[in-house]
Amino acid sequence: MGNEARMKPGEWGRALFQPETFDWGRQDTDAWRQAWQQGLGERAVAEPLGAAPLHLQPDLNARLHTRALALVAWLHQHRAHWQQPGDPEMDVLSADLAVVHDPAHPSGWDVRWVEFQAFTSVAATVDWLHTLAAAQWPDVAALDPHGAGLAPPDWTQAWRAWAAGGQSSAQVRVLEHAPQRQRTRWDFVALQQRHGWAVAEPGDLQPAGREGLQCRLTGQPVTALVNRLVPPAYPARDGSAWPALQAQPGVRWHSPPALYERVHKGLMPAWHAADTSQRLEAADVTAWTQLGCAPEDLVLKACLGLGGTGVELHPSLDRLEALARQAAPGAWMVQRRYQPLPVMVADDGVPVGLEIRLMLDTRQPLQPVCMSRVGRLSRLGAGAKANAGSWRGLPGEGVALLLSPRGLRESPASPMAV
């Protein structure tokens, strides 16, 4: 895998992770990495893995819980910002937070919003990695990798009900355009292996009478779609077949495509204006001066960018002023830069930061459930981006399996097990 380094806690690690994290990290982790790549075979190249699973301290869990509740509640209360007539209900939210320095907090650290999107993510891979990790570190088996507070069989049932309505695996398709060209195609292998859900392109499907779809070649019925297609990147999105597919009755959609372009980080400026306690410090680029920051203290983001695309860490004054004049409102935003917390130190002495993605079931907005979560460990330094696209297989960086005690289900009345 090219990433065989182990990690040390450094100044902050023990405040964030339970002691066994560092015991696991001192062991040989090659078997875990090799098992993942062997499971993928030639179908995809696995991402690098962090040195070991991370068992989160309760304080970090609690802060993630508080932030997730605030986000879903704000989106629910301010639906006029994003919902249009005829839109489907939002059922999923992938929300990213960074662990950052915060001198104003008694602990010296906190979590900050990076972005969010009404789009599903890599829960099947998280489940698979947990199984593989438990084979190397037996203590991992008793811990929860998802944050839903459920035992593995119960989580699998809940996940399938959420993502596919519990429908027969043979009638479920994962929808993607050019799946073999996608960076995260390894997750399609996990979806197939663990749930039996095959991948299909929109052109592979056609209406099956008045309701439902069928595979164009085999005639097999398709009644549920787990959408992984990013609409702005789909070349045929402006043709007639794509809206007709979305309008076909008798089809259950998970992560409806229309909401991808409604619920995203472009809403952060409105949220910042409504609730400064969230420390979003975001503004539309057309009003970037409202933050009172110099250009070098800002990050510029394309509101519909995905996977780190359209992110500029050091926008110039000329760039910001040009976008302020020319960009359509809601196309670009700026956010005050945060200082990533070095949560670990790689074997070669480079500090490593952590971003966490929460995959939220938002069907009950007053009681959202964290159905899964995953971390991204990135080496810190000038110009470093905390996303998988910047990984080069260097020590310390990679996917992080996040663990917590099992048995606590998230709700406003009880701590989320995120």
348 shares a domain with 316: no
pLDDT score, position 199: 97
Mean pLDDT, rounded, for 411-415: 36
Q: What percent of the chain has pLDDT over 70?
A: 93
pLDDT band at 25 (very low <50, low <70, confident <90, very high): confident
Mean pLDDT, rounded, for 374-396: 76
Cα separation of 114 and 116, whole Å? Answer: 7
Residue 276 vs residue 97, higher pLDDT: 97
11 shares a domain with 143: yes
In a domain, 159, yes or no: no
pLDDT score, position 418: 44
User: What's the total number of domains in the chain?
Assistant: 3
Do the bridges between strand 198-200 and strand 172-175 make them parallel or antiparallel, or are there none, so unpaired?
parallel
pLDDT band at 415 (very low <50, low <70, confident <90, very high): very low
Mean pLDDT, rounded, for 213-230: 96
Task: Read off the CATH number of the domain in which 222 is found.
Answer: 3.40.50
pLDDT score, position 410: 42
Which of 141-150, 196-205, 344-353 has the weakest average pLDDT?
Answer: 344-353
126 shares a domain with 11: yes
pLDDT score, position 293: 94
**pLDDT score of 417 more than 60:** no
Single residue among 226, 254, 282 that ends a domain in this structure: 254
139 shares a domain with 113: yes
- 32, with CB counted inside 10 A (0-12, 13-18, 19+), is buried
pLDDT score, position 52: 87
Which of 44-48, 113-117, 219-223 has the weakest average pLDDT?
Answer: 44-48
On whether the pTM is more than 0.85, the answer is: yes
pLDDT score, position 8: 80
In a domain, 105, yes or no: yes
In a domain, 406, yes or no: yes
pLDDT score, position 384: 54
Q: Please, are residues 376 and 355 in contact by the beta-carbon 8 Å criterion?
A: yes
364 shares a domain with 270: no
**pLDDT score of 22 more than 80:** yes
132 shares a domain with 73: yes
Task: Read off the CATH number of the domain in which 297 is found.
Answer: 3.30.1490
Contacts of 213-221 with CB under 8 Å at 24 or more apart are 213/245, 213/248, 213/250, 213/251, 220/170, 220/171, 221/171
Residue 30 vs residue 274, higher pLDDT: 274
In a domain, 409, yes or no: yes
Domain of 287, in residue numbers: 265-336
Tens of pLDDT, residue by residue over 311-355, are 999 899 999 999 999 999 999 999 999 999 999 998 889 999 999
Residues 6 or more apart whose CB falls under 8 angstroms from that of 90 comprise 75, 118, 256, 259, 263, 362
Cα separation of 14 and 26, whole Å? Answer: 15
- Mean pLDDT, all residues of the chain: 91
**pLDDT score of 381 more than 90:** no
Mean pLDDT, rounded, for 197-219: 94
In a domain, 349, yes or no: yes
331 shares a domain with 321: yes
Do the bridges between strand 332-336 and strand 298-302 make them parallel or antiparallel, or are there none, so unpaired?
antiparallel
Q: Please, are residues 133 and 33 in contact by the beta-carbon 8 Å criterion?
A: no
Tens of pLDDT, residue by residue over 38-77, are 999 989 999 888 878 999 999 999 999 999 999 999 999 9
Single residue among 227, 254, 281 that ends a domain in this structure: 254
Mean pLDDT, rounded, for 197-223: 95
368 shares a domain with 324: no
108 shares a domain with 194: no
42 shares a domain with 130: yes
**pLDDT score of 132 more than 90:** yes
Single residue among 336, 362, 379 that ends a domain in this structure: 336
In a domain, 162, yes or no: no
In a domain, 11, yes or no: yes
**pLDDT score of 358 more than 50:** yes
In a domain, 76, yes or no: yes
Cα separation of 325 and 327, whole Å? Answer: 6
383 shares a domain with 278: no
142 shares a domain with 41: yes
